[in-house]
Structure 1
Amino acid sequence: MNLSPTIKGEKILLRKPIENDLNDFFKCGRNKELTRMYGGDTHDLQPLTMKDARIFIENILSNKLEWCVEYAGRCIGQARLTVSEDDYRARYAVGLFDPSVWGIGLGTEITQLVLQYAFEELQLHRVDLRVLAYNHRAIACYEKCGFVKEGVEREGAYIEDKFETDVMMSILDREYHVLRDNFVRMDVTN
């Protein structure tokens, strides 16, 4: 059962999936650059099927804190927090599957909204993530939101016949509280 609350920002709505999200995801198809940023193999990229789209939406529904990202009335991606309550921490992941919205700051707003929820509502101490070192756009977004690079896993991912490096990043509650006045404000409803 999905317990994700609805979180509203200035341009973004983080919410549970609705039926039309299936069509929004399907219309975008598979994107070679996005597949590469996720660490997937783009050599033999197959067309997206409606079954693939349904599995994508079902996976969002199956996670306790995962949202569809709505912008301008349509689903453009997803965001997720995987919380470890014992440690007061979470792993963050976000993906915008619609390339027409890349580079306009939506990733920053989404990340700010999720961090506000993590630190203000869930009272977490730490949020961390892993990102491929070649995903410069994502790294810049995370740094803008206060994430700090804390290490690398050198050549830990084998992608398209080549070893790639992951960057580990995190933000702590005290770092968030210094920055939060600059964040987009959120409105949370259940």
Structure 2
Amino acid sequence: MNTRNFLELKGDLIYLKKLDPEYIEEYWDSFKDSSIESMIFTGSTLQFSKANIERFLEGIVNDRNRIDFLICLKESDIIVGEVVINEMDMGNRSTNFRILINKKEDFNKGYGSEAMLLALNYGFGMLNLHRIELEAFPYNERAIHVYEKIGFVREGIRRDGCFFNHKYYDVITMSMLEEDFREKYEHSGDLLIYE
């Protein structure tokens, strides 16, 4: 089975669909009005234009070291964010992971947690990954709480690893191993078996 063509992962509130150039208009529409809070929590300092996004999409289409998913509401198909498995190192079966909810009004609704579980399940179950890591900033306490609730473990701190708005911030590294995921979700109904 070619897992890269598995386009939709469905949850209760949201579904994930693989980002593709055909979605450029709706992706740009969701992205262009991102809340300042989303940019702060992700440490983003870049200014994005539609042309930048188009070039980005062209560049990732054939990148075999990443899978970008759009987070879409089941009831309306509106894109509320993205979750990305990137920097895959299949020799070590490890990868980086990131998530973004675009607008503040979509925070605290469970979209991010559900998107993370779907993407983690895909990473461990379909891509046969062993280790998935992410980075968080100490000032994003809400996200750190969610990551720990899902099962990520703090591993260490990269001191002054990020410069944002005239100040350096530490970067917290967190990870989850495949056995952590299976142990936590095997009997909960959140472990999806694809048929």
Same-fold call, TM cutoff 0.5: yes
Q: Which amino acid aligns with 1:3?
A: R
Q: Which has the higher contact order (CA 8 A, sep 6+)?
A: 1
Change (3 A) 1:14 1:4: farther
**Pairwise CA distance, 1:184:** 3.4
Give structure 2 stretches of 5+ with no counterpart: none
The 5 A counterparts of 1:118-129 are 118-129=123-134
Deviations 1:129-174 (A, max 9, x none): 1111111121111111100011111212111111101000001111
Alpha-carbon distance in 1 for matches of 2:168, 2:5: 36
Give structure 1 stretches of 5+ with no counterpart: none
Partner in structure 2 of residue 175 of structure 1: 180
TM-score by length of 2: 0.81
The 5 A counterparts of 1:30-109 are 30-41=34-45, 49-55=49-55, 57-58=57-58, 61=61, 63=63, 64-71=66-73, 72-82=76-86, 83-109=88-114
Change (3 A) 1:184 1:57: farther
Task: Name which of 164, 169, 194 aligns with 1:164.
Answer: 169
CA RMSD, aligned part only? Answer: 2.6
**Pairwise CA distance, 1:108:** 0.7
Deviations 1:10-60 (A, max 9, x none): 12211134254235325x52422111112134xxx96x6443454565566
Partner in structure 2 of residue 139 of structure 1: 144
Count matched residues: 183
Moved over 6 A (4+): none
**Percent identity of equivalent pairs:** 25
Q: Which amino acid aligns with 1:140?
A: H
Deviations 1:49-82 (A, max 9, x none): 4434545655664554111111131111111112
